[in-house]
């Protein structure tokens, strides 16, 4: 009997004998290394036998698993691992099929140790680069099984942790094996991503106590690196780092769904951590795709609770801040458009108190939650882009936000759901706050291009609104835009500074672009400064910002002409406070006096004209002795020291325009302009004009009117053009041009120097004449059509149409169809 067995054993194939010889009698002795080396040499020498070796090992392993001989199972898997590492021939694919079959058998086992053993073998296999691709290999089972292991609920916590970590490593192995091989199954398909990503997020969430402190967890200790959360984060980063342009959406969508299904937006912390990992792991040029998906998800949750929307916005803030530091692409304005639209929706929800939800009917709004959402939107607008965008893009964002602010009398571009004027006011305030933050730190060398009419005109129109909060925001924005040398902190409060050298102001020479900007917009700015000072609702912060605005214009945009105009404005403010026609409260009058004195003290030292400084100093000293309530130190304090009524001021307590004109004239300033009191233009001429001054614009209009005057009704007969006529025209052209220039100069001089009453009377006469002619034209051209029924004459001699039934009217044949 024994001889027969021995004979049969000798007749068995060599590869089977070599495989049998690697298994010892006692499995605890482990793999027989000498025999393993023989098997490996045989496999390398006869690669065509490799698939049979794999099939036989698989057969033995299946038998040992069924018989619970786990020691031999471990030996078989070790042998398979060594053969895989050693053999890279073309016939390896058939051996791999046997290998994967054995790994699958181990993963299907109930024993955790076998599952972990199979996973470790698969991870080793995943790290092998195969020379030949496989067209038919499928990893669907492994994705499903490893994902299931990631959610293990085994009773023993240590074993549960090991199973979960094995599942994470298995998923990492699947990704490494398939992600770069186009012939393999597409791991980026939603059917796979919907299993892989939630499994990773589940383990990441279970270890939420360990924060992601940096874009890369390389600084973590070895103990932390072995925790499921740290391992998951590395795996998740590796997965995202391998994502190409077309795969970003499939990788991010399961993250959004996971956060929705488990209500993780409201906590914000985990959601923010997830997207920080995403933004730091993907390629920077793909960042805008993640931003777009977040914006789309925000739109999809427009009817969700305010806490959910606020959570998405907070995540968007963090993600966009990272993206803006790299490449935001064309989505900058899309981000702002979406955020502003949701800001408007939040305002409407807050004011209406509820909204219709598709699933649960009408939902009651919690006001404080909507306010938190609105603050989150503003922070996102500011922090995500405003502080990281280059100057040219920031200018575009400023224009974009300005275009979304509801302006009185102009079209409103944000959709409204019926919250009315109060909703518009809230939007105005919040968008102006956003704009204020965007302009913080804004530095431009060319004010003319950075602040075009399309931005400056709407902004200044808000400075005339009755709402004190809106006016203050406008002043803060203007101050922030003009301050290019960080001088603003030195003028945060209004005070009389005896020596401005201690402030260490940074003053540069006014550039050509700045001169052009002031020629175009100076009168506009002066008018709004003056009118803001007249507002009865203005309080201390308003006057402080007006002082800062005047001071910054003096240092950033001032040439000799601007300095003269600013002094005229300051003196006009003094006249405003003295005027009995203006119904200003006593506090406002004292505040305007204090503002005027503080600014004149500053500008006198900036001009460095000793006589001017002396005059200002004398007036301030007199006020300190007799009327301290006219100085900022007694007005702009917590408890202003002002009288109940303001007596008429005169003499040495006031700054004298004649005196200032005299002392500045001696230093080369335009005395004629200084002597002319500043009167704000209450029309929009300076907004529409592109010429240097209002006088030139009016003179041009009068010149055109004089040419087309209706007084010249007799038309001159057409002159016959001959050779002599042309000759005379050429000879006399120089003289005609000189006459034309002289006539233009006289017209301009008339409107610049003539009294206001004379100019007003002249323009009024022209307007009356024009209106009469227009009435004549309308009377001729706009008449009722002739009636077929004829006309009748009234008792007053006027013709009236006679009412005739339509069926009795006689129409021409051509009018009848």
Contact 533, 494 (CB under 8 A): no
More confident residue, 780 or 223: 780
Largest CA distance in the chain: 150
Predicted confidence (pLDDT) at residue 556 exceeds the cutoff of 80: yes
Is a pLDDT exceeding 50 seen at residue 490? yes
**What is the rounded CA–CA span in Å between residue 549 and residue 453?**
19
Question: pTM higher than 0.95 for the full model?
Answer: no
Contact, 664 vs 607, CB < 8 A? Answer: yes
Q: DSSP letter for 305, please.
A: -
Nearest-10 crossing angle of helices 14-21, 50-66: 50
Q: In the Cβ-directed half-sphere of 528, how many Cα atoms lie within 13 Å? A: 27
> What is the distance between the alpha carbons of residues 95 and 649, in angstroms, rounded to a whole number?
106
Three-state DSSP class for residue 415? coil
pLDDT of 709 over the 50 cut = no
Structure tokens of 634? 């007694």
Percent of the chain with pLDDT over 70: 77
In this predicted structure, what is the pLDDT of residue 223?
Answer: 43
pLDDT for position 582: 78
Cβ-contact 274, 319 below 8 angstroms:
no
CA 743, 747, 750, 752: dihedral to nearest 10 degrees?
Answer: -130
Residues paired with residue 605 on neighbouring β-strands, in sequence order: none
Which range, 342-346, 401-405, 559-563, 783-787, has the best average confidence (pLDDT)? 559-563
For 182, phi and psi rounded to 5 degrees? -65, -20
Judged by DSSP in three states, 445 sits in coil
Q: List the single range of 218-232, 363-377, 750-764 with lowest mean pLDDT.
A: 218-232
712 CB-near residues (< 8 Å, 6+ apart): none
The 10s digit of each residue's pLDDT in 501-514 is 888 888 778 888 88
Q: Rounded mean pLDDT of 327-354?
A: 75
Neighbours of 718 (CB within 10 A): 6
């Amino acid at each position: 009997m024994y001889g027969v067995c021995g004979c049969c054993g000798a007749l068995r194939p060599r590869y089977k004998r070599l495989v049998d010889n690697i298994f010892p009698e006692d499995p605890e002795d482990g793999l027989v290394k000498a025999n393993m080396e023989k098997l490996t040499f045989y496999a390398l020498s006869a690669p065509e036998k490799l698939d049979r070796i794999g099939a036989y090992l698989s057969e033995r392993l299946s038998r040992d698993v069924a018989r619970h001989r786990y020691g031999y199972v471990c030996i078989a898997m070790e042998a398979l691992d060594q053969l895989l590492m050693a053999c890279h021939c073309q016939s390896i694919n058939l051996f791999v099929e046997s290998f994967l079959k054995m790994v699958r058998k181990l993963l299907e086992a109930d024993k955790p140790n076998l599952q972990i053993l199979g996973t470790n073998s698969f991870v080793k296999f995943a790290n092998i680069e195969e020379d030949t691709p496989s067209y038919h290999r499928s990893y669907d089972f492994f994705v499903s099984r490893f994902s299931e292991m990631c959610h293990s609920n085994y009773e023993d916590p240590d074993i549960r942790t090991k199973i979960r970590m094995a599942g994470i490593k298995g998923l990492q192995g699947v990704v490494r094996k398939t992600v770069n091989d186009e012939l393999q199954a597409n791991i980026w398909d939603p059917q796979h991503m919907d299993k892989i990503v939630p499994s990773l997020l589940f383990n990441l969430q279970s270890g939420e106590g360990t924060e992601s402190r940096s874009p890369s967890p390389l600084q973590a200790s070895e103990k932390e690196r072995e925790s499921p959360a740290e391992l998951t984060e590395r795996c998740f980063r590796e997965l995202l780092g391998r994502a190409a342009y077309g795969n970003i959406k499939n990788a991010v969508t399961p993250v959004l769904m996971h956060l929705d299904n488990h209500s993780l937006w409201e906590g914000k912390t985990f959601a923010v951590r997830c997207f920080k990992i995403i933004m730091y792991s993907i390629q920077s040029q793909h960042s805008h795709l993640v931003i777009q998906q977040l914006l789309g998800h925000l739109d999809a949750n427009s009817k969700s609770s305010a806490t959910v929307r606020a959570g998405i916005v907070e995540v968007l803030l963090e993600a966009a801040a990272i993206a803006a530091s790299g490449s935001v692409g064309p989505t900058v304005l899309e981000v702002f458009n979406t955020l502003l639209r949701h800001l408007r929706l939040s305002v409407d929800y807050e004011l209406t108190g509820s909204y219709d939800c598709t699933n649960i009917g009408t939902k009651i709004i919690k006001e404080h939650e909507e306010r938190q959402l609105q603050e989150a939107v503003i922070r996102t607008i500011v922090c995500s882009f405003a502080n990281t965008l280059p100057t040219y893009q920031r200018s575009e964002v400023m224009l974009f936000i300005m275009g979304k602010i509801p302006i009185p009398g102009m079209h409103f571009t944000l959709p409204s759901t019926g919250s009315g004027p109060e909703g518009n006011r809230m939007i105005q305030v919040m968008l102006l706050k956003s704009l204020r933050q965007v302009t913080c730190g804004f530095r431009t060398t060319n004010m003319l291009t950075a602040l075009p009419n399309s931005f400056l005109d709407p902004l200044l129109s808000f400075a005339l609104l009755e709402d004190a909060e809106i006016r203050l925001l406008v002043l803060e924005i203007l101050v922030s835009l003009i301050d290019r040398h960080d001088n603003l902190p030195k003028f945060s409060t209004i005070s009389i500074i005896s020596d401005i050298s201690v402030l260490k102001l940074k003053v540069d020479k006014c550039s050509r672009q700045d001169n052009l900007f002031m020629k175009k917009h100076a009168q506009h700015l002066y008018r709004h400064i003056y009118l803001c000072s007249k507002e009865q609702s203005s309080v201390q912060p308003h006057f402080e910002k007006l002082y800062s605005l005047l001071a910054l214009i003096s240092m950033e945009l001032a040439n000799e002409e601007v300095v003269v105009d600013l002094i005229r404005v300051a003196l006009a403010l003094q006249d405003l406070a003295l005027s009995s026609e203006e119904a200003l409260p006593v506090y406002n009058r004292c505040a305007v006096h204090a503002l005027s004195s503080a600014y004149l003290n500053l500008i006198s030292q900036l001009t460095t004209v000793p006589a001017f400084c002396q005059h200002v100093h004398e007036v301030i000293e007199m006020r300190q002795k007799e009327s301290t309530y006219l100085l900022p130190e007694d007005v702009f304090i917590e408890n202003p020291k002002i009288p109940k009524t303001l007596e008429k001021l005169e003499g040495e307590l006031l700054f004298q325009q004649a005196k200032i004109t005299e002392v500045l004239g001696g230093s080369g300033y335009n005395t004629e302009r200084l002597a002319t009191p500043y009167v704000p233009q209450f029309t929009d001429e300076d907004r529409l004009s592109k010429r240097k001054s209002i006088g030139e614009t009016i003179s041009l209009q009068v010149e055109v009117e004089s040419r087309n005057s209706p007084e010249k009704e007799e038309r001159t007969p057409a002159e016959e053009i001959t050779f002599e006529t042309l000759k005379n025209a050429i000879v006399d052209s120089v003289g005609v041009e000189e006459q034309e220039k002289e006539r233009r100069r006289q017209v301009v001089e008339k409107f610049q120097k003539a009294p206001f009453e004379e100019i007003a009377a002249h323009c009024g006469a022209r307007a009356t004449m024009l209106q009469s002619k227009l009435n004549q034209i309308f009377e001729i051209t706009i008449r009722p059509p002739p009636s077929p029924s004829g006309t009748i004459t009234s008792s007053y001699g006027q013709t009236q149409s006679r009412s005739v039934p339509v069926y009795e009217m006689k129409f021409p044949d051509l009018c009848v169809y």
